[in-house]
Structure 1
Amino acid sequence: MQLIALALYHRDGRPEPRVIRFRLGALNILTGESETGKSEVLDIVDYCLGRKQPNLPDEPIDQTVGWYALLVSFGTSRMLTVRPRPSGASTIKAMVRTGDETLDFPRGDELRLDSDVSVIRSQLSARLGIEDFHFQPPTGAARAAFDVSIGQAALLCFQKQGEIANQGALFHRQSEDGIQQAIKDTLPYFLGAAGPEQALRRHQLGQALRAQRAAQRALEDASRRQEGTDTRAVALLRLAESEGLLSDVPVTVDPRRIPQLLDQALSVSSAVEQAAPADRRQALQDERRILREQWQQLGDALALVDRWHEQGQAYTGELHLQLNRLKTLDLLGPAQPGHDSGTCPLCTQPLPEPDPSAADITELTSNLSVELEHAQTLQPVRDEHRRSLQVQRDAAAERLRLNSAQLRDLNASDERMRSLQDQQLRAAYIQGRIAQEITAAGQLSPDDISGLRNELVLAQERAEQLQELVDEDDITAETERRLTDVAAYMTPWARRLNLGQAAAADEVRISLAQLNVVLRRPAGRLPLTRIGSAKNWIGYHLVAHLALHTYFLQHQRPVPRFLMLDQPTQAFFPEKIRDATTVQDADWAAVTSYFELLRDVADSSDGGLQIIVCDHANLPEQWFQEALVENWRPRDGRRNALIPEDWLE
């Protein structure tokens, strides 16, 4: 699979697309100034191959392009994938066409959404020759199984600007969640070290090991039940005795009597008695409330009678006192005739108010005597009423004491009932355990133990057979052997580019565990993370991916036959560069050596490998100019870029 061309369709429905065509089986160079869209070419190709979440810039592509299309070649057949401009963070809509060598880009008014990314990936995977490979992670792994497809193969075909100069990661999107593990899981397959057969055997081995463990547990449980039956039965007999289900259980129980004793304990009734009705308690509580109210009311009435008695005694006492004082006037004898009550008898002076006459005082004394006699006649009535109230209050108090005694008896009865219920519940629980033990003992027989033992032997034999097959596969060792073949290309190419530490290294290879380049030296392994300079990081990325694709091509592995590189010479120019052709002091010899290696690898593939490079560099050598497919620098005073100037007008 190689790329024939890439097309962009304007959002306004123009019929003719913007097309960038590539040469098959050769080095393709797309050069130009900064901010002309070179880096977006890789993202567009990745999107058209079925990626759901594109990484396209907001301007000016998003404002002008409505459709993206990619035309790919599979020898004598072609496939067209068209994706609409994503309206959000992701989209799965697509258009797919297949045909012979005459298939080309349609007109803008012919674009229709009739498919999705799953169809793109399934058809590309089938045409690449990716087998129906459902990857099963190792037993106990937390990650889920997945189908190997173009989605994993494409990760080996791209190097973005920030990835090709990354000393900590070798592959496309390796730093994203889940991608690193996906590459580790599928790289052995793409190298040819693993396939569906090995994955199936590993999956079957995991199932066989689980079946073996289950058979082992079943046999151990059955053996423990058989060996511990008598011990558990005796323990249950002791519990039954403690709860009154059995009596006089011997200290040493004859095993032959155990079933009889268990049946005896099981036959004892353990019905739970019911507590006293709740309405009896409620009636006593209601009666107690009424009696307390009566007792309180009688107490209040007694207090009122006592206050009346005290007030009556005070009143009659005052009457006695005043009456006694008035009676002393009788000692003076009758009043003298002619006495003037308005004149003082001692000093003969007129009084402000006349003194009462003797007749008035005598009348007052008579009235007080009548009132005193009347008050004294009421006292016996009050005393009788008080005695009646006291008798009623005492009766109410006695009934309250009786009520309290009845409530205490009822509470004590309930407590005894609860204790009895607890005992009966414990007895019922023990009887349940006895019934369970009798059932388990009856279900387990010597034949059952023998059958479980045979099942375990069969499971062990199955697991051993599969383990031998998996050991013969030895995917890890086979992957390392094939990576050694890849290292046979990497090592001389790294020395050719004069990369750091390459001359002293015995071997330059890819580490599957680290997913990075490592150098094997007499002093020990040296990872790329411990080698300085962006020049070296980019160089080792180049030789690693060129070697991998050379190996894929020679061994006919199902990986697309193209490699896209973005800014492989960025380490030789300033960080913010407009046009590399204007830089005079760059290491142009090293830049040339990088492109010469790319040219030589493409040429040596005999048309089997397509290399597409997007870069600032524009070398004057004839072979470089022949490899140019696009040069996005101003021409005739007009802007030249991925998005045509008239699209922006």
Structure 2
Amino acid sequence: MNITIKKLVIFNDKGQSRDIEFEEGLNIITGDSKTGKSAIIEIIDYCLFSSRSSIPKGKITDFGELFVVVFKVNDFYLAVGRPAQKTGNMNYSYLNIESEYDDSLKNMKISYFDNLSLRLIKNDIQTEFEQYIGLAISNLNSDNEVNKLENKGKLSIRDTVSFLFQHQNLIANKHALFYRFDDIIKRKRVIESLPVLLGAVDENYYDLIRQEKEKIREIKTEKIIVEKLKSSKENETFFLRNSIQVYYSLINNVLDENLTLIDLKKIGINLPIPSEILNDQSKLFLEINRYEKERNLKYIEKEIIEKALTDLYQTSDDGYDYAKELVKIHSHQKYSQDSNNLSCPICDSKNISINENISILENSKEKLINELVKLGTFSNDNTPLISELKSNQKKIEKEIIVLTKNINILSIEDKAFNEAKNKREQIIYQKGKIESLIKAFLEANNQKGNSKDLLQLEADLKVIKANLLKYNPEKFKQDSESFLKENMNRICEKLDFEEELKPIDLNFNIEDFSFFHKNKDGKIRLDEMGSGANWLASHLSIFLSFLHLNIKNEKSVIPAFLILDQPSQVYFPRSSKKEEITDEEDLEKFDDNIDQVKNIFKVLNEEIELINTKTGIKPQIIVLEHANDESFEKFIIKDWNKSKAQGLI
């Protein structure tokens, strides 16, 4: 997903504004300390629906009434406007989609938001934003019943920000790599979400995981029931023999002694009945028949729901692909027909009525195209409907169980027998009891402990496992780690990394996000690498490699931008100017440090161009810096001098 930042705007309560425009590729904002550079990360993070504001208190929060970021998403634009914390509306936001970067965005005024609704972020604005960028997985849990503390719930744009920001206190940190990973729950969630964020798995994967666990539980239960049934054969034979013997006594017949359970069941299914009551039915029979009919209807309802679930799984992806094609078609459409100058080719006179009709047609086309483009990569999640159908399915299954129990109860209840007033009713009752009892025994064997049922469950599990193999998470892990390793080592070779640690062998494990360098002495952790230059080189290598991994995965939903705050601080802990240095040794060191900073920008630009060459997408890297040099002047979009009262505000 090609998501970059096009514009940042801050409005005050009088409608006055401060803005910055960004482009693809390398964007450098340089200047003195305390000019507002670092606040840019916090404003962008705030407009990505952070639950709290980290925008520095002072000039920016005093001025800012509304913070706006315009995101470029493939071929359209999303404008997010979020009121400042001081307004009391930080739980609300504006969101608007535009098909073109026109004057309303280029020269944005506070009036742009007059016709937009200020809506709740949670379950509204943020959800809509995520749908436009293709984030529509509503359940990351791999089980139907999950502890609330471990409930991962819906995938969120907030799960991507750890890959987007490197603050000045993080860019060369030896103890931490990723933004806000001090929160253990957030760290675990991001790590577990990585395959989804990079597009390796989707919502169906998690549903298959849930099905797999449920099927394994069912198989385990089925095996227990089979064992119990095997151990209860003697009791079953005794109970059935006594029941048939009672019936035979009523009709003056004698039952053979040496009959097997199978023989008894055959007799019970074909019980002899006196001719005088052959065509009669007892109330018990009628009641059982009513329950059986009701149960058959439930089976039909269950079949309809199962068919609907199958259809939903097959069609969920089609709508999303169709919406993407509409946006792709629109991106190639140009409507430049001048409908006001059509004239007769013979007499050169204008035809007003035709011109008016064409104008109406053009307006209608433009409205239609705008509506189509607003589909963008809009992706609706069928999971809520699927969950509802599954809930109804379970409800019907429970009702079937209840009906079956009622049938069994009617067949074995002694009360009906005791209330029978004559021999005819007793015979009919006992016959119905035995037949229902045998039916219950058969169901217990065939449905709750039959080897065929167990085989079916195992076959179902095999199908689920086969579908899971299509995702191949192990291959995703191996390929991703191999890709990161190759690129980290390649990038780090170009940066300032100590010779004594070479040859470079950087490794990253995507299962726990552990990072280490390996040499003849074994694994070396980041905090053991010994210098700020090594830590900076490691951070840059990791994040540039992740940027490349993100963009090469076409289904990735991680934005294609990276913001680095003061990577030069390793070489210039405090802002200093060359003309202020008098010591020759310090001057030589300054020049060497400048060369290292120049090299950082050179590497950043090389990686941007390499990614563009390999993927066709040009990522965006924004560097907030206080070092300045003419060699990277062409990438500088802002240069703030504090003595000239320049800055974000």
TM-score category (smaller protein):
0.5 to 0.7
CA distance in 1, matches of 2:158, 2:139: 13
Alpha carbons of structure 1 residues 471 and 111: separation in structure 2 relative to 1, 3 Å: closer
Q: SS in structure 2 opposite 1:569?
A: helix
Q: Does 1:53 align with 2:55?
A: no
Give the aligned partner of residue 185 of structure 2.
178
2:441 to 442, 445, 450: 445
Give the conservation status (yes or no) of the 8 Å contact 2:4–2:72. yes
After alignment, is 39-48 or 92-101 more displaced?
A: 92-101
CA distance in 1, matches of 2:157, 2:537: 26
Aligned-pair CA distance for 1:494: 0.6
Q: SS in structure 2 opposite 1:163?
A: coil
Output aligned runs, 1:70-109, within 5 Å: 70-87=69-86, 91-99=90-98, 100-102=100-102, 103-104=104-105, 106-109=108-111
CA distance in 2, matches of 1:125, 1:214: 40
Output aligned runs, 1:57-456, within 5 Å: 57-87=56-86, 91-99=90-98, 100-102=100-102, 103-104=104-105, 106-111=108-113, 113-117=117-121, 118-130=123-135, 132=137, 134-137=139-142, 142=147, 143-226=150-233, 445=441, 448-452=444-448, 453=450, 454-456=452-454
1:614 to 624, 633, 639: 624
Give the conservation status (yes or no) of the 8 Å contact 1:152–1:182. yes
Give the conservation status (yes or no) of the 8 Å contact 1:205–1:463. yes
Amino acid at match of 1:621: E
Give the aligned partner of residue 540 of structure 1.
538
Amino acid at match of 2:623: V
Give the conservation status (yes or no) of the 8 Å contact 1:506–1:519. yes
Give the conservation status (yes or no) of the 8 Å contact 2:137–2:202. no
Give the TM-score taking structure 1 as reference length.
0.60
Alpha carbons of structure 1 residues 3 and 512: separation in structure 2 relative to 1, 3 Å: same
Give the aligned partner of residue 625 of structure 1.
633
Amino acid at match of 1:629: I
Aligned-pair CA distance for 1:502: 8.9
Aligned-pair CA distance for 1:193: 3.1
CA distance in 2, matches of 1:461, 1:76: 46
Give 5+ residue unaligned stretches, structure 1: 233-434, 644-649
Give the aligned partner of residue 509 of structure 2.
511
CA distance in 2, matches of 1:612, 1:548: 16
Aligned-pair CA distance for 1:532: 2.1
Give the TM-score taking structure 2 as reference length.
0.60
Instruction: State the aligned residue count.
Output: 436
Aligned-pair CA distance for 1:80: 0.8
Aligned-pair CA distance for 1:567: 1.7
Aligned-pair CA distance for 1:481: 1.3
After alignment, is 83-92 or 149-158 more displaced?
A: 83-92
Alpha carbons of structure 1 residues 621 and 578: separation in structure 2 relative to 1, 3 Å: closer
2:605 to 599, 605, 610: 599
Q: SS in structure 2 opposite 1:601?
A: helix
1:617-641 deviations in Å (ceiling 9; x for gaps): 11x233x111112222235xx3222
1:68-114 deviations in Å (ceiling 9; x for gaps): 00112124321211000114999320011211221416423554552
Aligned-pair CA distance for 1:65: 1.2
CA distance in 2, matches of 1:110, 1:229: 79
Aligned-pair CA distance for 1:550: 1.8
Aligned-pair CA distance for 1:497: 0.8
CA distance in 2, matches of 1:517, 1:88: 42
Output aligned runs, 1:441-520, within 5 Å: 445=441, 448-452=444-448, 453=450, 454-471=452-469, 473-500=471-498, 504-505=502-503, 507-520=505-518
Alpha carbons of structure 1 residues 76 and 188: separation in structure 2 relative to 1, 3 Å: closer
Give the aligned partner of residue 244 of structure 1.
none
Amino acid at match of 1:136: N
Give the conservation status (yes or no) of the 8 Å contact 1:193–1:482. no
1:373-396 deviations in Å (ceiling 9; x for gaps): xxxxxxxxxxxxxxxxxxxxxxxx
CA distance in 2, matches of 1:163, 1:90: 30
Give the conservation status (yes or no) of the 8 Å contact 2:35–2:642. no
Q: SS in structure 2 opposite 1:96?
A: strand
CA RMSD of aligned residues (A): 3.6
Give the aligned partner of residue 373 of structure 1.
none
Amino acid at match of 1:180: R
Alpha carbons of structure 1 residues 558 and 91: separation in structure 2 relative to 1, 3 Å: same
Q: SS in structure 2 opposite 1:34?
A: coil
Give the conservation status (yes or no) of the 8 Å contact 1:133–1:195. no
CA distance in 1, matches of 2:539, 2:125: 29
Q: SS in structure 2 opposite 1:69?
A: strand
1:641 to 638, 642, 647: 647
Alpha carbons of structure 1 residues 139 and 567: separation in structure 2 relative to 1, 3 Å: farther
Q: SS in structure 2 opposite 1:80?
A: strand
1:501-521 deviations in Å (ceiling 9; x for gaps): 796346423221331432344
1:323-377 deviations in Å (ceiling 9; x for gaps): xxxxxxxxxxxxxxxxxxxxxxxxxxxxxxxxxxxxxxxxxxxxxxxxxxxxxxx
Aligned-pair CA distance for 1:177: 3.7
Q: SS in structure 2 opposite 1:146?
A: coil
Considering only CA atoms, is the larger Rg found in Structure 1 or Structure 2? 1
Q: SS in structure 1 opposite 2:603?
A: helix
Give the conservation status (yes or no) of the 8 Å contact 2:10–2:64. yes
Aligned-pair CA distance for 1:604: 3.3
Q: Does 1:589 align with 2:595?
A: yes
Give the aligned partner of residue 302 of structure 1.
none
Alpha carbons of structure 1 residues 464 and 500: separation in structure 2 relative to 1, 3 Å: farther
Alpha carbons of structure 1 residues 579 and 217: separation in structure 2 relative to 1, 3 Å: farther
Aligned-pair CA distance for 1:189: 2.6
Q: SS in structure 1 opposite 2:65?
A: strand
CA distance in 2, matches of 1:2, 1:515: 25
1:112-159 deviations in Å (ceiling 9; x for gaps): 552233444334433433454632336887521422232222331111
CA distance in 2, matches of 1:542, 1:25: 19
Aligned-pair CA distance for 1:6: 0.7
Aligned-pair CA distance for 1:9: 1.1
Amino acid at match of 1:589: D
1:40-89 deviations in Å (ceiling 9; x for gaps): 11010011122221212222322221110011212432121100011499
Amino acid at match of 1:178: I
After alignment, is 597-606 or 542-551 more displaced?
A: 597-606
CA distance in 2, matches of 1:539, 1:563: 16
Aligned-pair CA distance for 1:191: 3.3
Give the aligned partner of residue 422 of structure 2.
none
Give the aligned partner of residue 34 of structure 2.
35
Q: SS in structure 2 opposite 1:147?
A: coil
Alpha carbons of structure 1 residues 187 and 451: separation in structure 2 relative to 1, 3 Å: closer
Identity %: 19
1:8 to 7, 10, 13: 10
CA distance in 2, matches of 1:555, 1:447: 51
CA distance in 1, matches of 2:228, 2:90: 54
Alpha carbons of structure 1 residues 505 and 153: separation in structure 2 relative to 1, 3 Å: same
Give the conservation status (yes or no) of the 8 Å contact 1:95–1:115. yes
Amino acid at match of 2:120: D
CA distance in 1, matches of 2:499, 2:186: 29
Q: SS in structure 1 opposite 2:160?
A: helix
Give 5+ residue unaligned stretches, structure 2: 240-413, 415-432
Aligned-pair CA distance for 1:489: 1.5
Give the conservation status (yes or no) of the 8 Å contact 1:201–1:466. yes
Give the conservation status (yes or no) of the 8 Å contact 2:29–2:624. yes
